Structure 1
Amino acid sequence: MKEVSEIDLCFSLRVRHLLHLHVATGVQRYFLQFRQCFINDQQAMVEKGRMLIEYVTMNTIAIRKILKKYDKIHSSENGKLFKSKMWAEHIEILQSPWLIELGAFYLNLDVLDGDELNEVSGRFSCDLSVTPPTMTLMLPDSLKMEYDLTCAVCLESVFNPYALSCGHLFCKSCACAAAFVFIFQGPKSAAPDAKCPICREAGVYAKAVHMLELDLLLKTRCTNHWKKRYNAERAGIRKQNMQGFD
């Protein structure tokens, strides 16, 4: 459990750092754009992302083979039980919201050319026209992961999405409503005992992940829907502000 936790933490921190550069705002974004005149940061980001995908692939296959071999040698079900425990502890790396963010990052770059980019981005696909809208990740050994991009509260494609530490995705406004906090306060301001609307696990809001790359992907590919949801959220914030003054 300690080793798997370290793998998950290492992956999360490295993806967060990588994507922070891509979605930088304000002065930092201006600095990065100026720096790109001299250094190809985007190419470096693609390379780092490729290494992270290899990291996921290598560790996922290794862990699965170890658990399978353990059960075969000891004629037990302990390997399967350990895998279930990883899911329960939210350290199963293929269920990490940062993997969804990394996939959205590559799909946001799919307008670029380059064999290296195509090699990695080809593992990810996204179909937002089906029900439910889905992101798919293909890994070696015919391993296929599908991620449902539906908010379980409003039953629409997630808008301004947040992933709670239990792994479930919600629109920011829906997560805030479920936690009884204002939208402008954000999910992280929820009470420590606030529960996930799906699994009812408590304490999952404090480490919620703001899915900026996924939001950018939805904004780009579902422009009209995204604008409609944006206007609705802004109206909700203004209404809540007025209620706060009252």
Structure 2
Amino acid sequence: MMTKMIAIKSFLINTVIVSVKPCFADDQEQLLNKGLKLIQFAVMNAIALRKILKKYDKVHECANGMNFKSKLQAKHLDILQSPWLIELVAFCINLNDSDSSLTSDELFGPLSIDLNLTSEGSVLTLVLLGSEKLDCSLICPICLDLVFQPYALSCGHIFCKSCACLAARVLIIEGLKYASSDSKCPVCRESGVYDKPVCMSELGLLLQQRCKEEYKERAIEERKILLKQTKEYWEMQTSHAMGL
């Protein structure tokens, strides 16, 4: 069953890539419908697996099903934990040209996607079948501000790129690929989560379009930090090359 879950997750990621590539050649409405169906398919699979495991425990009078579910979540194989799902949701909202929400009643039933950006908190909410709800916080756990140039670690937690680099003790110009394998997530404290970070470009584009002034100010601040780090980096490299 673990192999099946890995295959489902790989299918989700690969389908996202395949769907995004022809975006300039495909009709926008058709592409949007494909994205919505993929979201519905992914969430319905997650719900079905949950019900199967619950039924298994009821029939066999054990807790093996729930234990297996816990193992999936611990290994970040649950589809609902995948940052690629959030990236796909953001992709659909970007295509939709709507100010706040996106809905569909095709295939598996009603789907509602809402982006709520307020001073109290910013959340991306996905509701399927009118009851299954998935909330994704868009606030960086480090700077406590709206995520800027968002990156997701393999544990699923989302940070600003600069904040994630700071936590991993690497320069922004180097990127998260230079993070040590021992670096831990600032939230869950799990190690090895910097190995395969996800650059959430669609989510970043969505927030940039909806929060233009805030993103403009952050871009200016980030540029100052980047220039400072770049200068310090090359001064250090020069000193090292000269043996100083």
Residue 189 of structure 2: SS of its match in structure 1?
A: coil
Equivalent residue number for residue 6 of structure 2: 5
Equivalent residue number for residue 95 of structure 2: 109
Deviations 1:56-112 (A, max 9, x none): 133122201211111111122222222111111001101110111111112212326
Q: Structure 1: which 5+ residue stretches go unaligned?
A: 23-31
* Cα drift, residue 149 of structure 1: 1.0
Alignment of 1:42-191 (within 5 A): 42-111=28-97, 118-119=103-104, 123-140=112-129, 142-191=131-180
Q: TM-score, normalised by structure 2?
A: 0.86
Asked if structure 2 preserves the Cα contact closer than 8 Å seen for 1:132 and 1:150, the reply is: yes
The runs of at least 4 consecutive aligned structure 1 residues that moved more than 4 Å come to: none
CA 1:68–1:122 in 2, change beyond 3 Å: closer, same or farther?
A: closer
Q: TM-score, normalised by structure 1?
A: 0.85
Greater CA deviation, 190-199 or 174-183? 190-199
Residue 109 of structure 1: SS of its match in structure 2?
A: helix
Aligned mates of 1:111, 1:122 — CA distance in 2 = 17
* Cα drift, residue 21 of structure 1: 5.3
Q: Structure 2: which 5+ residue stretches go unaligned?
A: 236-244
Identify the match of residue 195 of structure 2 among 206, 211, 223.
206
Asked if structure 1 preserves the Cα contact closer than 8 Å seen for 2:28 and 2:95, the reply is: no
Residue 227 of structure 1: SS of its match in structure 2?
A: helix
Q: How many residue pairs are counted as aligned between the two chains?
A: 227
CA 1:184–1:9 in 2, change beyond 3 Å: closer, same or farther?
A: same
RMSD: 2.0
CA 1:184–1:19 in 2, change beyond 3 Å: closer, same or farther?
A: farther
Residue 7 of structure 2: SS of its match in structure 1?
A: helix
* Cα drift, residue 20 of structure 1: 5.1
Equivalent residue number for residue 26 of structure 1: none
Larger radius of gyration: 2
1:92 partner amino acid: D
Alignment of 1:2-41 (within 5 A): 2-19=3-20, 32=24, 36=25, 40-41=26-27
